[in-house]
Structure 1
Amino acid sequence: MSKARGIAGFIVTIFLIGFGWVFAYYAALDDLFAGGLLKLLSLIRHPELTSIVWWRDFIWYFWPVVILLFSLFATTYVIAMLSVELRYLGLEHHSKEEGYVVKYTVFQRIQYYLLYVLFFLVAFTGFVMHFGNNPYIKYIYVSRELYTTLHVVSGVLLGALALFHVGYYGTQLLMTIRKKGWAGAVEKFPLLRVFNFNEVLTNISRLYILALNPKGPGPEWDKYDIESLLHYWGEYFGMTVIGVTGVAMIFYGASAWAGFAWAFHVREAALAVAIWLLLILPLAHFRPSRFPVDKAFLTGNVPLSEVKRENPLWYKRLYSKLKGEK
């Protein structure tokens, strides 16, 4: 990477980490530190598992703990990544003459662009309304009706995109499992490797080791690294929670299910944005080696040298496939 691009990526990544923590604090952690932890402990000591009100309060005070733990992990992981990448500052990893491999098809990139635009609209309008009483937010919170309409419409479109994606790829997955079994499905859909917990945890720990010891073993990811795996599978959980609770509030208002829908909707949205700010953007786009954007999302192609360095298991599969064709 060039020095200028590397330094710029480092600065932007550090800014994102700081901004992500500020957002996480005001969106959730403030409640945790202002007595929320004691209330959570009280709820745990006196469980009422059949009470929707108990579950509403539990989610409201427990989810900030989830956000705090994730934020700590994301911050340390991104800092470890930065320490590794800055060792290569000023060094180019690949040349224009080398080969490339397709990582994202046009169809996949279009879905990704739509996902980013719709997610931004949903998150922006939602939290502008949530913080509507803030004196600084009031300058952009021009109309509740406008923001509500944008929030609902973009949310419905985002849900439709998710359902289309699940239907399209879910059908292919089932057909592949039927023909080739689970192993064949994992080879065709490497995102399924997230269920190999030992592999995921080993690769995460290896980055921390590599950050401390340059001679240590680096992560050996397949086609997708931790950012991609969390991004992809987190969407399924997040969209399910936010989508179901959002639909409930469209029909029954914020008091739907005794306020449980609103509480879970807001807390899960805060977690989703925290993930986006603290992990997805820093690793996918603004890390020094990819700044200002990962070109794979623009062209769909990745240099073979990058694949060999960052996705060695995928590189081995590609190499084995080429040898087999010869």
Structure 2
Amino acid sequence: MSKARGIAGFIVTVFLIGFGWVFAYYAALDDLFAGGLLKLLSLIRHPELTSIVWWRDFIWYFWPVVILLFSLFATTYVIAMLSVELRYLGLEHHSKEEGYVVKYTAFQRIQYYLLYVLFFLVAFTGFVMHFGNNPYIKYIYVSRELYVTLHVVSGVLLGALALFHVGYYGTQLLMTIRKKGWAGAVEKFPLLRVFNFNEVLTNISRLYILAFNPKGPGPEWDKYDIESLLHYWGEYFGMTVIGVTGVAMIFYGASAWAGFAWAFHVREAALAVAIWLLLILPLAHFRPTRFPVDKAFLTGKVPLSEVKRENPLWYKRLYSRLKGEK
């Protein structure tokens, strides 16, 4: 890979981080800094756990704290990753003779493309409506009816895609657990390694150490790194929250559950977009060594040299499997 492409990836990543912080500020953090933190502390000091109004206000002022903490983590993690990535510029030459391994099947890639298109439509239409009074937004906010229709239709389709995915893979997961137990399920579905908190935290800390100490031990991820794990599990947590509250508002309006549905819907949507801007796009698509696009999302294949460097546990499993077949 040329250094020019790497530098371009670096510039795009820095832009995404800046834009992500601007979005996070106007979508949530400004409320936190404009007295929201004091209101949150007051709510905590005087809990009313049986009151839906208390929960509405709590979510409204607590979720910006979650967004702030995540944004700080994502920014520092991406910066650490950039410092490591820049060391590999000029070294990413994969010959046609080099071995490749399938990371994403065609079926998985089709789901991923649909997910991105629908997520973009939902997020774009939702926040255009949310910031509809902004003088700059008014130029693209041409029709509320059009935006509401696009938002609802894309949201319903996104929910249907999520239900299909959970049903399809959930059935396979249950069958695998029944036959091979939890260990067998984790081997077949490496995304479950997110529940191995010690492994996840160790790998995250190793990335930070490696950023400052090139000779330090690097992360030892399996098939999926922290970006993939957060991307996957964050999506389905977010879609559950946004989907349930969205359905409630379709039938009962923004006042559903005394405004709790609207508050949670907006705040969780802000968190989802912040994750997308600050972590998913920089690491999944615009890393300097992969800019302008990660070919794995197009072909489904990754070079074995990349697997060995970035996913050593997966590489060891693949190597052991090949030895066993000989």
- Is the TM value for this pair above 0.5? yes
For the residue of structure 2 that corresponds to 1:302, the secondary structure is strand
How far 1:176 sits from its partner (Å)? Answer: 0.3
The ranges of structure 1 where at least 4 consecutive aligned residues each deviate by more than 3 angstroms after the TM superposition are: none
State the distance in 2 between where 1:18 and 1:120 align: 19
CA contact (8 A) 1:220 1:310 kept: yes
CA contact (8 A) 1:40 1:61 kept: yes
CA contact (8 A) 1:93 1:306 kept: no
What is the match of residue 324 of structure 2? 324
What is the match of residue 31 of structure 1? 31
State the distance in 2 between where 1:2 and 1:78 align: 21
State the distance in 2 between where 1:90 and 1:308 align: 18
Deviation by residue 1:273-324 (Cα, 9 ceiling, x = unmatched): 0000000000000010111111000000000000000000000000000000
State the distance in 2 between where 1:294 and 1:74 align: 20
CA contact (8 A) 1:24 1:270 kept: yes
State the distance in 2 between where 1:303 and 1:87 align: 18
How far 1:32 sits from its partner (Å)? Answer: 0.3
CA contact (8 A) 1:43 1:54 kept: yes
State the distance in 2 between where 1:218 and 1:293 align: 24
CA contact (8 A) 1:295 1:301 kept: yes
Deviation by residue 1:89-112 (Cα, 9 ceiling, x = unmatched): 222253222010000000000000
Deviation by residue 1:226-272 (Cα, 9 ceiling, x = unmatched): 00000000111100000000000000000000000000000000000
CA contact (8 A) 1:52 1:258 kept: yes
CA contact (8 A) 1:9 1:288 kept: yes
Deviation by residue 1:142-194 (Cα, 9 ceiling, x = unmatched): 00000000000000000000000000000000000000010000000000000
CA contact (8 A) 1:94 1:306 kept: no
State the distance in 2 between where 1:156 and 1:293 align: 29
State the distance in 2 between where 1:93 and 1:274 align: 33
Structure 2 length-normalised TM: 0.99
CA contact (8 A) 2:246 2:261 kept: yes
Deviation by residue 1:97-154 (Cα, 9 ceiling, x = unmatched): 2010000000000000000000000000000000000000000000000000000000
For the residue of structure 2 that corresponds to 1:286, the secondary structure is coil
For the residue of structure 2 that corresponds to 1:259, the secondary structure is helix
Deviation by residue 1:189-208 (Cα, 9 ceiling, x = unmatched): 00000000000000000000
- Per mean C-alpha deviation after superposition, the further-off stretch among 252-261 and 86-95 is 86-95
How far 1:5 sits from its partner (Å)? Answer: 1.1
Q: Which runs of 5+ in 2 are unaligned?
A: none
How far 1:87 sits from its partner (Å)? Answer: 1.3
Aligned length: 326
CA contact (8 A) 1:93 1:305 kept: no
State the distance in 1 between where 2:296 and 2:84 align: 21
CA contact (8 A) 2:100 2:302 kept: yes
State the distance in 2 between where 1:97 and 1:292 align: 23
State the distance in 2 between where 1:88 and 1:190 align: 26
State the distance in 2 between where 1:39 and 1:292 align: 44
- Per mean C-alpha deviation after superposition, the further-off stretch among 273-282 and 90-99 is 90-99
For the residue of structure 1 that corresponds to 2:101, the secondary structure is strand
State the distance in 1 between where 2:2 and 2:325 align: 37
Find out whether 1:202 has 2:205 as its counterpart. Answer: no
How far 1:4 sits from its partner (Å)? Answer: 1.1
CA contact (8 A) 2:92 2:289 kept: no
How far 1:222 sits from its partner (Å)? Answer: 0.2
For the residue of structure 2 that corresponds to 1:101, the secondary structure is strand
How far 1:88 sits from its partner (Å)? Answer: 1.8
State the distance in 2 between where 1:242 and 1:313 align: 34
State the distance in 2 between where 1:87 and 1:301 align: 23
- Per mean C-alpha deviation after superposition, the further-off stretch among 83-92 and 104-113 is 83-92
